[in-house]
Amino acid sequence: MKRAGRRTTWVAVVAVLVVGVAAWLVWPSAPEIRVQDQMITVVDGPKDDQRVTLDASFFPPAGGGRAPAVLLAHGFGGSKQSVRAEAVRLAQAGYAVLTWSARGFGRSTGQIALNSPDYEVKDVRQLIDWVAGRPEVRLDAAGDPRVGMAGGSYGGAISLMSAAHDPRIDAIVPQITWHDLADALFPNATGQGPESGVFKRMWAGLFFSRGGPTPDAAALAGLGAQNGQDRQDGEDGERQARQPARPLTAEEIRCGRFLPEICDMYQQVAESGRATASAVETLRRSSPISVPGKIKVPTLLLQGQRDSLFPLSHADANARAVAATGAPVEVAWFDGGHDGGNGEVDWLYGKTLGWFDRYLKEDSGAARAGGAFTVTRDGGRDPGTRRPVQLHATAAAYAGLSGSAQTSVPLSGPDQQVANPPGGSPASISAVPGFGGIGGGSGLNLSVDMAGQSAAFDSAPLTAPLQITGSSTVKVRVSVNTAADGATGEDTSTENAPGGDASGAASEVTLFAKLYDVAGGTQAPILPEGLVAPVRITVPEGGSGEAMVTLPAIDHRFDVGHRLRVAFTTTDLGYSTPAAPAVYTVGLASPAVTVPTYATLRTPSTGPAWWIWALPLASIAVAVALGLAGRRRPAGEHDPALESVPLRIDGLTKAYRNGELAVDGLSFTVEHGQVLGLLGPNGAGKTTTLRMLMGLIHPDGGEIRIFGHRVVPGAPVLSRLGSFVEGPGFLPHLNGRDNLELYWKATGRPAEDAHFDEALEIAGLGGALDRAVRTYSQGMRQRLAIAQAMLGLPDLLVLDEPTNGLDPPQIREMREVLIRYAARGRTVIVSSHLLAEVEQTCSHVVVMRRGRLVTAGTVSELLAGRTSADGSGTRLEDVFLDLIGDKA
């Protein structure tokens, strides 16, 4: 029965394993996508006379048939390899995907024209022509494929620009990209336009260096950007391959792969730090701002919250531009951007796929995930991995950077004097372009304001939490401190943005506005996402200038007790600042900051997982079931007829694990006052029988009754059984006395019933009783164990080889103890090999062999029977050997 159960268990385990492995093997894996590399020749340029070869890869859709196409564009400094992984995923999702290295990047020829309508946009139109000729691509009309475009940064801008110039494009998903490149590089938070903007020199330098001539750009390109956007993934080899063996010409060293006009423009503005009208014109030709009303396709704008290059305001401007045409627009602010953050690659992919499913496959089943506006928020840390968790708050409509409501938070602070250090150094730090990824996200607060360069205006501690979503505004008043101004009035540096230009009627003041979260105490103030708003304010001679400053768009929760702090610094590491030293007085024109809130943004409540309750309840139910199923309540507990029979064994059977019978149909009865010898050779089943007698092992058949009570494990009648079987069992760290006392206490019976003194006398250990048992000899343990068996003077005493390890006097004494014990009406069972001993001690014997009863009776009968047969006096030994030899 037991063996059968064991086998069943194994069969079940193996079956589960086999099913699991089979499921693993059979489980549908993602279909394999076979990439087709393709060199596509296009003709572009203002006069359509430049031939450029584009290095492209085509990923046919999984599942065959005609499928919608997606053009995946890469970021600045990348190549078609940068977007390969996403392309494969889209192809597996059933899209025909085309990736290509834009002109001037990767193995493509041509020069970088910054997504110019004359160059890159024309290239994309011809790529769409090529896609339209593919048999795998679904067509809306002849030559008009069903096609979407997606990409990040540089690739996002080409998506927008292409959608404006090619009506065949049906949906776009631009990520972390610009609306106005001029404004991105020359921002002015007063809203006066890039001509008066502050040059974002560090980002601009990094951005342009990625199109530069040396492989060093590869090292820079890896910094800062996430998601394979604006990054050079595994491009080193490719770059080396196309590096000409000849030395670079001076022009190539100077401009890398840029179009010379772009190169000249950049060098001019980077040197002066001011945007010229022609530079603004050039940059805007590459920007969606130049094509108002022309982007009429469903647009999903994914913009990073940690992005000091193309901040959220660019996505906002793009959203407004597209929405003005009536096309559907959705906006998501995710945890990422050019300054690092999580990146949320999988989530962005899911959003992109959902958008294309909706507008390219027109899959009505592709439910709108969330609303038109999604913001990624900090969801604390995952308790298991200790990693940050993102929550996605959604709103049904996108209301722009001014939020769905505005609150005015009063600020206080006197007018403060701040210094512009000569040469603009040391500079305050907000974010370090290109190194944002190092911090790994939200935890690191890089911002440092230099002493004496910052004016701060604090709110009172908040009495309720304030979630700001969008751009706050504050009105600032600045005047130039003329006393400090007089000495350095002349602008002698190459920096063309004089801080204290006293020569004209008006001077310009460059400031960087920041909104801090001040927790107080020892904590450094937090600058959310490391974003600043650069402003350039014109201050009339002797007077003061005022400006409404739009602070950076953020999504940030200010906790109760925290303060809002609006700070104005004169320097920032990432920007060009005036070299001339100056002192300004900065104050608030109106003592409040207007903050946008977005009440309709809701984080879907996850609630506690269902299994928090279900699992423990289910497991407890299983546990209870296991416990109840294991209970056995055998009938026939008590047989009153046998009330006075100390021991009756009836048909007892026990099999070893291998099926061999250790005890085979054993039956015998022991009466009162008997000293029974249980005899048998090794392996006869004596010990097994005694173990069953003690309730230690379960019989396979038959039963044992002690005083009529059936023996089962833990049967109360066992309290009338004293036993010593297969050696002593003591706690080695306790002394002999404690062992006996604790054993008796464990029986739960009254101490006065134990008869310790008599037991200890039998043990005869003397002073050794107070030594730890581990120091005892074998004989001492043996005697202590027999004493333990006699504790409480049990009615039935079972001793297995009691004389092992005893010396002859002790053996003799033990014999007398046993005889006396039985003489008091109790019953003793002794199992032994020492036949002479048994002969002298026992009144009865039971002889076993191979689990079976050979004979049972009194010693005298046994001896007499043999005597009569042999005709001579005999010993038990002879009888025993005869008995077991007979049937050998």
Partner 1 sequence: MSDANGSRTAALPGGVAGGSPNGSGPAAGTGPSAGGPGSGTPGGNGAARGYAPGRTLPLGVEIVRQFKRRRTLVMFGLLLALPWVLVIAFKLGAGSNQPATSLRISDLATEGALNFAAFALSVSASFLLVVAVALFCGDTVASEASWSSLRYLLAAPVPRDRLLRQKLVVAMGYSAAAVICLPLMALVAGTLAFGWNDVRVPGTGEIIPALDVLPRFAVVIGYALVSQFVVAALAFLLSVSTDSPLGAVGGAVGLVIVSNILQAVEALGSLREFLPTFWNTAWLDALAPQPQYDGMLKGVAVSVTYSAILIAFAFRRFRRKDVVS
Pair type for strands 563-569 and 506-518: antiparallel
Evaluate whether 572 touches 427 at the Cβ level (below 8 Å).
yes
17 touching partner 1, by CB under 8 A: no
**How many residues belong to the site for partner 1 (CB under 8 A)?**
98
747 touching partner 1, by CB under 8 A: yes
Strands (E), 448-530: 454-458, 466-480, 506-518
The 3-class SS string of 613-681 reads: HHHHHHHHHHHHHHHHHCCCCCCCCECHHHCCCCEEEEEEEEECCCCCEEEEEEEEEECCCCEEEEECC
Site for partner 1 in 493-522 (CB under 8 A): 519, 521-522
CA angle 730, 732, 734 (to 5 degrees): 90
523 touching partner 1, by CB under 8 A: yes
Nearer to partner 1, 74 or 826 (CB): 826
811 touching partner 1, by CB under 8 A: no
Give the nearest distance from C-beta 359 to partner 1 in angstroms: 30
Strands (E), 524-577: 533-540, 544-558, 563-569
Q: Which among 67-75, 135-143, 171-179, 626-634 is the span making contact with partner 1, rule CB under 8 A?
A: 626-634
- Single residue of 45, 193, 413, 673 touching partner 1 by CB under 8 A: 673
- Single residue of 326, 748, 808, 871 touching partner 1 by CB under 8 A: 748
H or E element in which residue 378 lies: strand 373-381
Give the nearest distance from C-beta 646 to partner 1 in angstroms: 8
- Single residue of 12, 22, 43, 623 touching partner 1 by CB under 8 A: 623
CA angle 819, 824, 828 (to 5 degrees): 50
Site for partner 1 in 751-790 (CB under 8 A): 752-753, 755, 758, 761-762, 788
Give the nearest distance from C-beta 523 to partner 1 in angstroms: 6
Give the nearest distance from C-beta 135 to partner 1 in angstroms: 37
- Single residue of 707, 814, 829, 831 touching partner 1 by CB under 8 A: 707
Evaluate whether 784 touches 829 at the Cβ level (below 8 Å).
no
Give the nearest distance from C-beta 845 to partner 1 in angstroms: 15
Evaluate whether 309 touches 210 at the Cβ level (below 8 Å).
no
734 touching partner 1, by CB under 8 A: yes
CA angle 191, 194, 195 (to 5 degrees): 115
Nearer to partner 1, 380 or 634 (CB): 380
Q: Which amino acid is at 315?
A: A
Q: Which amino acid is at 428?
A: S
Site for partner 1 in 169-208 (CB under 8 A): none
Pairwise CA distance, residues 239 & 214, whole Å: 9
Nearer to partner 1, 264 or 795 (CB): 795
H or E element in which residue 347 lies: helix 345-359
Nearer to partner 1, 89 or 122 (CB): 89
From the number of C-beta atoms within 10 Å of its C-beta (0-12, 13-18, 19+), residue 268 rates as middle
636 touching partner 1, by CB under 8 A: no
- Single residue of 151, 498, 792, 851 touching partner 1 by CB under 8 A: 792
Nearer to partner 1, 47 or 633 (CB): 633
Which spans in 200-339 are helix H? 201-209, 216-221, 236-242, 250-255, 260-272, 277-285, 312-324
Pairwise CA distance, residues 768 & 780, whole Å: 9
719 touching partner 1, by CB under 8 A: yes
Evaluate whether 566 touches 525 at the Cβ level (below 8 Å).
no
Beta bridge partners of 528: none
- Single residue of 26, 626, 635, 888 touching partner 1 by CB under 8 A: 626
Nearer to partner 1, 293 or 713 (CB): 713
- Single residue of 64, 350, 426, 825 touching partner 1 by CB under 8 A: 825
Tokens standing for residue 232: 């050079």
Pairwise CA distance, residues 497 & 427, whole Å: 16
- What distance separates the 2 farthest-apart alpha carbons in the chain? 150
Give the nearest distance from C-beta 377 to partner 1 in angstroms: 14
Tokens standing for residue 353: 């796929």
- Single residue of 162, 577, 723, 832 touching partner 1 by CB under 8 A: 723
Beta bridge partners of 173: 150
Nearer to partner 1, 327 or 819 (CB): 819
Evaluate whether 149 touches 71 at the Cβ level (below 8 Å).
yes
Pair type for strands 647-655 and 701-706: antiparallel
Helices (H) and strands (E) in the chain, counts: 23, 31
- Single residue of 14, 64, 425, 611 touching partner 1 by CB under 8 A: 611
Pair type for strands 299-304 and 169-175: parallel
Site for partner 1 in 684-703 (CB under 8 A): 691, 694-698
- Single residue of 363, 726, 807, 870 touching partner 1 by CB under 8 A: 726
881 touching partner 1, by CB under 8 A: no
Give the nearest distance from C-beta 650 to partner 1 in angstroms: 15
- Single residue of 527, 717, 828, 859 touching partner 1 by CB under 8 A: 717
346 touching partner 1, by CB under 8 A: no
- Single residue of 286, 287, 674, 689 touching partner 1 by CB under 8 A: 674
Nearer to partner 1, 243 or 619 (CB): 619
Pairwise CA distance, residues 75 & 156, whole Å: 8
Tokens standing for residue 274: 């001011």
Nearer to partner 1, 484 or 519 (CB): 519
Nearer to partner 1, 51 or 733 (CB): 733
Give the nearest distance from C-beta 535 to partner 1 in angstroms: 31
Q: Which of 188, 111, 181, 121 is nearest to 153 (CA)?
A: 181
Give the nearest distance from C-beta 623 to partner 1 in angstroms: 3
Give the nearest distance from C-beta 41 to partner 1 in angstroms: 43
Nearer to partner 1, 326 or 659 (CB): 659
Q: Cα separations (Å) of 329 from 145, 312, 407, 581, 730? A: 22, 15, 27, 47, 81
Nearer to partner 1, 487 or 696 (CB): 696
Buried/exposed 482-510: b ≥16 CB within 10 Å, e otherwise: eebbeebeebeeebebbbbbbeeeebbbb
Give the nearest distance from C-beta 663 to partner 1 in angstroms: 13
727 touching partner 1, by CB under 8 A: yes
Give the nearest distance from C-beta 390 to partner 1 in angstroms: 15
615 touching partner 1, by CB under 8 A: yes
Pairwise CA distance, residues 50 & 32, whole Å: 37
**Residues 834-863, mask of contacts with partner 1 (x by CB under 8 A):** ---------x--------------------
Pairwise CA distance, residues 724 & 797, whole Å: 8
Site for partner 1 in 643-672 (CB under 8 A): 643-645, 669, 671-672
603 touching partner 1, by CB under 8 A: no
30 touching partner 1, by CB under 8 A: no
Tokens standing for residue 608: 């506690």
**Residues 357-396, mask of contacts with partner 1 (x by CB under 8 A):** -----------------------xxxxxxx----------
